[in-house]
Amino acid sequence: MAYRNGNYSAFYVDEPFSESNLGAAATKDFVSYNLLRAWKGSDDSFPFIDSHNKNYNVRDSSDWETTLKPRIHERINNSKNIILFLSSITKNSRALREEIAFGIGTNGLPVIVVYPEYSEKSDIINCSSKTIKKCITDLWEAVPAFRDSMASVPTIHIPLKKELIRSALNDTAFMVNTKCEPNKYFYEC
């Protein structure tokens, strides 16, 4: 059995991958992932363990079946949860579908959903009714694999805010071996 201590980050990158100098670094969801890496680089106590750094790097020109898909599976097998970046530019890519299907469907990983275009808890939930806002649930439609499978694992929905992400990463309810009941969770405002 794999040692599951990593956080698998799932994010949308244009397909086919742009060979420009910026490549994936120009994609909003990838920029958000890089922000987590920067927070970890400047703050050792930030609890992000990047599953993407745990095996060989891949190029997006690599073969899907023989290289990319097996590396995704290996990284997910070594992870305790998924951090899904979901924004207005997120599309239903082959990689995201595979990450969700294998991460949730096969491994039962809890999901920390980070919404990069939002910075406050009140952007995510209606504070008075304690429900997730329609602008957020509308984003789920971009990734049907996530929308249709999130009821099988606990998901926490948070804005792109370092301290809230820190709290979610430290919360054992969102780790595969100690996860809570499947449901949609959020931090109340």
Q: What is the pLDDT of residues 100-151, one digit of tens each?
A: 999 999 999 999 999 999 999 999 999 999 999 999 999 999 999 999 999 9
3-state SS, residue 120: coil
- Tell me the mean pLDDT in the region 54-71: 66
Between CA 170 and CA 20 the distance in angstroms is 37
Q: Does domain 6-186 have CATH number 3.40.50.11200?
A: yes
Domains of the chain by residue range: 6-186
pLDDT tier at 24 (50, 70, 90 boundaries)? low
Confidence at residue 184, expressed as pLDDT on a 0 to 100 scale: 97
C-alpha distances (whole Å) from 110 to each of 64, 96, 107, 152, 178 are 25, 15, 9, 9, 10
Q: Is the pTM of this model over 0.95?
A: no
Contact 8, 82 (CB under 8 A): yes
Between CA 12 and CA 158 the distance in angstroms is 18
pLDDT tier at 62 (50, 70, 90 boundaries)? low
Task: Give phi and psi for 40, each to the nearest 5.
Answer: -65, -40
Between CA 144 and CA 137 the distance in angstroms is 11
